[in-house]
Amino acid sequence: MLAERVKGLKYLIYQMDVEPANPEKNRQKVKDWIEKQVPLHQPDTIILPEMWNTGYALDQLDDGADDDGKETLELLQPLAKKHGVHIIGGSVANRRNDGIYNSSMIIRNDGELIHEYDKVHLVPMLDEHKFLQGGQAGGAIFELDGIKMGLVICYDLRFPELMRSIALQGAEVIHVVAQWPESRRTHWRYLQHARAIENECYVISANSAGICNDTQFAGESLVIEPNGDLVVEGSPKKEETIQFTIDLDKVKDMRERIPVFSDRVPNLYKMDQ
């Protein structure tokens, strides 16, 4: 049975200071945050950042990665069901038979896992390809409360084709989970505004705060409306909880006023294969 579509969704973002190479501590932090903040704010949906189980201690992933998502699902599924909250599960280092992936898991408010995604684009500047396997399936959507949604992970944000493919499937909200560095803060902000404007959808991001291996993360988790306006933003460096509500009528209104999807002429776009 399809969920009845709602007009708006109330969100919480956990702009988390992830402890590098300490999955037990990070899982406890996430559990404590959910147990405290969800009853206090009563959101429909919560979002975690990228690689929140291990952080970017890439050379220590063998010791800290999930075993095919087992540890993350054992933590998040009961919490989703207990609190009746959808969980956009950020992403975690996740070991499978052929290697370690940067994997996201979406858990519905009844505790069911409804969507998984492995980060497609690995960051060459961090030598991610030496430690991680790239995902082979991008651009799928999922639904929460009757709303079509998508998710990308950090470096994926730089590839407009991926987010456009999600929007073309009807997504009205695209989530970006990240550990984006302060050194490229302006890229972080401008790219999200651009993706929201060009796809006429909400772009909602959860970034990390804190430091890993001398890299300061940018914080500034953002919520961008379909017209490109900033709704709310996190602080630059501090771990915090960010709350907001989105209005899905703004997506419908924007797509009716400026019909970019029906005006596309893809047969004239020369795209490399």
Indicate if the pLDDT at residue 34 is higher than 70.
yes
Q: Which CATH number fits domain 8-258: 3.30.750.24, 3.60.110.10, 3.40.50.2000, 1.20.120.530?
A: 3.60.110.10
Greatest Cα-to-Cα distance within the chain, rounded to the nearest angstrom: 52
Per-domain residue ranges of the chain: 8-258
Mean pLDDT of 88-107: 97
Cβ-count burial 77-98 (b if 16+ within 10 Å, e if not): bebbeebebbbbbbbbbbbeee
- Looking at the annotation, which residues are catalytic? 50, 119, 154
Q: What are phi and psi of 78, to 5 degrees?
A: -65, -35
- Euclidean distance between CA atoms 219 and 196, whole angstroms: 19
Q: pTM for this structure?
A: 0.96
Beta bridge partners of 167: none
Q: For 6, what's the count of Cα atoms within 13 Å in the CB-facing half-sphere?
A: 12
Q: What is the pLDDT of residues 48-83, one digit of tens each?
A: 999 999 999 999 999 999 999 999 999 999 999 999
- Euclidean distance between CA atoms 117 and 106, whole angstroms: 9
Judging by beta carbons within 10 Å of its beta carbon (0-12, 13-18, 19+), is residue 272 exposed, middle or buried? exposed
Residue 25: partners with Cβ closer than 8 Å, 6 or more residues away: 19
Q: What is the pLDDT of residues 212-230, one digit of tens each?
A: 888 999 999 999 999 999 9
Mean pLDDT of 249-272: 94
